[in-house]
Amino acid sequence: MSIEGWQKVISINLNSLFYEMKYQIPAMVKNGGVSIVNISFILGSVGFAGSAGYAAAKHGVIGLTQTAGLEYSAQKIRINAVGPGFIETPLLGVLNAEMKKQLVALHPIGRLGKSDEVTQLILWLSSDKSSFATGSYYPVNGGCLAR
């Protein structure tokens, strides 16, 4: 991986999250609390050959989420992260059938995830129903990380 590639991947996937929280949390504190849900990925907790920068950034998302969750919980700001597996999206439409089959094989459930399955978790974490959840990472990955 080139230095430029590394810097771009880290900037897009980790630095942007830091800046978002750095500048939004003070306003959230003034408004009496809120829930933040960061998006990581299954590569936030495992490695993946050929994806050093992306895996490092997504690991960083989890670490930043846990740390911020600890630091802001007393101010009624709950911060959690969701880690989807591979989700059936138009982005995966560029893959040929064999590559898609390989991605499906990573998930013991036997299929890719659906956007709505991730959305439901995000909605729960954003609601008062999850009022005791902060500083946590929630994988939603069809069993991929259970291996």
Active-site option among 19, 23, 54, 72: 54
* DSSP per-residue codes, 11-60: IIIIIHHHHHHHHHHHHHHHTT-EEEEEE--GGGTS--TT-HHHHHHHHH
Q: What are phi and psi of 93, to 5 degrees?
A: -65, -15
Cβ atoms of 141 and 85 closer than 8 Å = yes
- 19 among known catalytic residues: no
Residues acting as catalytic residues: 54
